[in-house]
Amino acid sequence: MVATCSPSGRSASLPARRAGALAAVALTAMAVVLPSGSPAEAWGCGNAPCWGPGYNNGYNGGAVAAAGIIGLATGAILGAAVASQPPPVYAPPPPPYVGPPVVYTTPPSVIYTTPPSVVYAPPPPVVYPPPAVVGAPVPLPPPAVASAAPPPWSPAWYNYCSSRYRSFNPNTGTIVGFDGVTRFCS
């Protein structure tokens, strides 16, 4: 349970009051149980060490009880000290940012004028070629240049194709072009 403070500054928590009372009782018990002097005297051995036959190997129940009471007292003191701490005090938040004052000014007066007049010249007239007469004859392309090859299957044709093409076959009259296609020699 967390200790809360009353306006008078006193601890209002019941567990904190109990811890303080318990600490006072523990300190009193320590003063009664632990006499001043050497540990051997406290254990009832006089000035001699407390081990050997008849001394229970140095074990004394009173010393154990005293150590427990000391631990209890120390815990009670520390618990009371922690419980009696005042609550944390937090700093107030900083004030909100207030920037420089905003000054509104009137915009400068604008005088609108009419743009200068622009006179556009009319575009030049478009001249189209005269339309073609419907039904007029269409001129033919120039005739192809006749090849110098003689008419097929003549002796001159055989001489011409065999001298011009190495792949000429006189039985079929065909040649094999560079593209691998077989054509008639003409």
- Of 157, 138, 137, the residue nearest 149 (C-alpha): 157
pLDDT at 174: 94
pLDDT at 27: 55
pLDDT at residue number 48: 60
Residue 175: per-residue pLDDT: 94
pLDDT, one tens digit for every residue, the chain (186 residues): 444 444 444 444 555 555 555 555 555 555 544 444 555 555 556 666 665 555 555 556 677 788 889 999 999 999 888 888 888 888 999 999 988 888 888 877 877 788 788 888 888 899 888 877 777 677 777 776 666 678 899 999 999 999 999 999 999 999 999 999 999 988
The pLDDT of residue 88 is 84
Q: Mind spelling out the 3-state secondary structure of the chain? A: CCCCECCCCCECCHHHHHHHHHHHHHHHHHHHHCCCCCHHHHCCCCCCCCCCCCCHHHCCHHHHHHHHHHHHHHHHHHHHHHHCCCCCCCCCCCCCCCCCCCCCCCCCCCCCCCCCCCCCCCCCCCCCCCCCCCCCCCCCCCCCCCCCCCCCCCHHHHHHHHHHCCCCECCCCEEECCCCCEEECC
Report the predicted TM-score, pTM, of the whole model to 2 decimal places: 0.23
pLDDT of residue 4: 46
Q: What are the extents of the domains in the chain?
A: 14-83, 155-184
Q: At residue 68, what is the residue type? A: G
